[in-house]
A = this chain, B = another copy of it.
Amino acid sequence: MPVVVTKIDRSAQPLAAELAESGVATVHEAQGRKGLMLSYMRPIYSGAQIAGSAITISGAPGDNWMFHVAMEQVREGDIIVFSPTSPCGDGYFGDLLATSAKARGCRGAVLDAGTRDVRDLTAMGFPVWSRCISAQGTVKETIGSVNVPIVCAGAHVRPGDVIVADDDGVCVVACEEAEAVLAKARDRMAKEEEKRARLASGELGLDMYEMRARLKAKGLRYE
């Protein structure tokens, strides 16, 4: 059953830069609060903010063989997304794989597993989001799949979907929805700019969002 799919739909990639700039929280809201990975997914260093097309990898626990297979499928602007077939925190990804990925234009990696060589990865400026940091080595014995749909940290990811990642976590945008999501994200950011100014001047959300009547109707009592 293991398979490597060599052609994936990267049609949303031109929108990636702007989605990255919008950030995970805004994109997640813009698409109706879906697609967010679980909060245990943390960046190995602060400040990275990326987006790109998902190259998905499914592999056995403690076995990182398919990362090498996946590397051949990586194109400029892609992001590697890995999920083990059962929960595993081993260090699947380190500086050698990152060197290879970077050479092929990969923007970062997202693993529902462990990462290692974090000092080197930080020095290289190659961002990784993972469930933990672990030096634990892996074997190369069992084949898996590349570019098939996977569940990664609670989110469904199809190859070519846009991955947006920053200090708030990781969000998945369906390739075919990326344009609509970006439009809503832009709109949201514009509105937030205005709200931010009003709130900074001391105006209350209670008034700005006209919440008082509804709160009263719900029975909120002041004492």
Contacts and interface: CB of A to CB of B under 8 A. Distances in A.
B221 A36 contact: no
Interface in A111-167: 114, 116-119, 122, 132-137, 139-143, 149, 151, 154-156, 166-167
B86 A136 contact: yes
Contacts of A200: 99-100, 102-103
A135 B24 contact: yes
B103 A202 contact: yes
Contact of A221 (B3, B171, B201): B3
A33 B2 contact: no
Interface residues of A, number: 94
Interface in A180-223: 192, 195-196, 199-202, 204-206, 209, 211, 215, 218-223
A67 to B, nearest CB: 8
11 contacts: A6-B222, A34-B85, A39-B136, A47-B119, A62-B88, A72-B206, A86-B134, A97-B205, A100-B199, A133-B169, A140-B211
